[in-house]
Amino acid sequence: MKKRWFKLDNAAKIFPPTSNKKDPKVFRFTCVLKENIEKDILQMATDEALDYFPNFRSVLKQGFFWYYLEMANIKPIVKEEKKDICAPIYRKNKKRLLFRVNYYQNRINLEVYHALADGTGALEFLKTIVSIYLTKKYNLVNVNLDYDASLAEKSADSFNKYYKFSIIKKEVEDRSYQIKGEKVEDNRFKAITGTMDTKQILDLAHKYNTTLTGLIVGIYIWAIKENMNLKDKNKSIYIDIPVNLRKYFKSQTARNFFSVLKLKYNQNESLEDIIKYVDNYLKEELKQENLFKRMNRFATIEHNYLVRVVPLFIKNIVLRFANYVERKNLTTSVTNLGVVKMPLEISDYIDSFEVYVSTDRMQLAICSYLDKLNISFTSVFVNTNIIKDFYRKLVSLGADITITSNNVDE
């Protein structure tokens, strides 16, 4: 294979210097099928899917000034799942692929190191693996295996495409509320998923005149407020909400192309008022001009000449410190990957999709497939009261929910 390399995109640069055992910057997509997985067919499907996504053959390397991705002739080995969910993938000075595919019974899992791709890019890769797998297993014909993008479009750095110089203005932040408590041992975390009817939750969101994201974030804030100590009531809840920029700027890249909203809430209001506050915030911040400003705020740093000539080991120190400061002003995160769509010819073989994100605190992730909506928490805390109150509130509002979790001892 002819060697090719490319720089990390703007959003990916923070991940290599800040990855660790407590937060390996790994996320997982799971496709739940209606029959158990055949390993050999899944291996063939993974190998073939890489022809559609050649950038997933990359390994992460260090240069003098920046990290970069280099194409490698390494074959991914599909294995039965034995590691903990979202176990570390990237290891410094180890030449290894930045994703893994494993399976358990009827579940296909794709885990990806965030420097390689964002959730949307990784999801497209998994969808291709699943489509090829089902096509081969059931001898299907006329299944569209690829979304409409060229190899160049899939590997494009869309941050660079839309970059325009802008003045950086640091937002003033007050003290953030930090969820605390006894943690699960050995840097493991709980993965708890609530499965519910998609239409039922959408109807509930419409009842509150908001979107599904607005409803879920609002209830999550309410659950956090319910579990705050009295002395913490004056602290603000800060929630990171990643946004897929492909919905607002023309791009079909399979690499990172996202921005992050940072919602602040510091009132003591009813659930209805919280949801209204969240809905107004999202409507304002999701305007294209505001997303453009956020996107370029970080890209401007990368394009600064003085920053570019600083050696990587100094950049690493600065980025770790900046990440530490940012994390100190963060309570939690909510990721909504939206609706997963698959070719009609294979839809009868698929039950649902799930998404999980590694964390050193608590995070919530959402995705839906046909009539099934999965809302998943990952948490390092033994105490699950916030999660319980979240689901209980949804049930009290009329939702029917089935709860599943991984086997992490309390």
- Structural domains of the chain ordered from first start: 5-145 (3.30.559.10), 185-405 (3.30.559.30)
> What's the CA gap between 100 and 207, in Å, rounded?
41
How does residue 166 score in pLDDT terms, banded at 50, 70 and 90? low
Q: Is the pLDDT of residue 279 over 60?
A: yes
Order of all β-strands in the sheet with 401-405: 258-265, 237-244, 332-339, 362-369, 372-379, 190-197, 401-405
How does residue 2 score in pLDDT terms, banded at 50, 70 and 90? low
pLDDT of residue 132: 96
**Tally of CB atoms within 10 A around 2:** 4
Q: Is the pLDDT of residue 13 over 90?
A: no
Chain mean position to CA 26: 8
Mean pLDDT over the full length of the chain: 90
Q: Is the pLDDT of residue 133 over 80?
A: yes
> What's the CA gap between 25 and 21, in Å, rounded?
9
pLDDT tens column, 179-206: 999 999 988 899 999 999 999 999 999 9
The SS3 assignment for 16 reads: helix
pLDDT of residue 66: 82
pLDDT of residue 298: 58
Q: Is the pLDDT of residue 3 over 60?
A: no
Q: Is-contact 187 21, C-beta < 8 A?
A: yes
How does residue 148 score in pLDDT terms, banded at 50, 70 and 90? low
**3 burial type by CB count under 10 A (0-12 exposed, 13-18 middle, 19+ buried):** exposed
Helix (H) or strand (E) holding 113: strand 107-113
> What's the CA gap between 225 and 334, in Å, rounded?
16
Q: Which two tokens stand for residue 402?
A: 């089935």
Least confident window among 30-34, 35-39, 239-243, 256-260: 256-260
How distant, in Å, are the alpha carbons of 16, 61, 244 from that of 70?
A: 15, 7, 25
pLDDT tens column, 19-48: 998 889 999 999 999 999 999 999 999 999
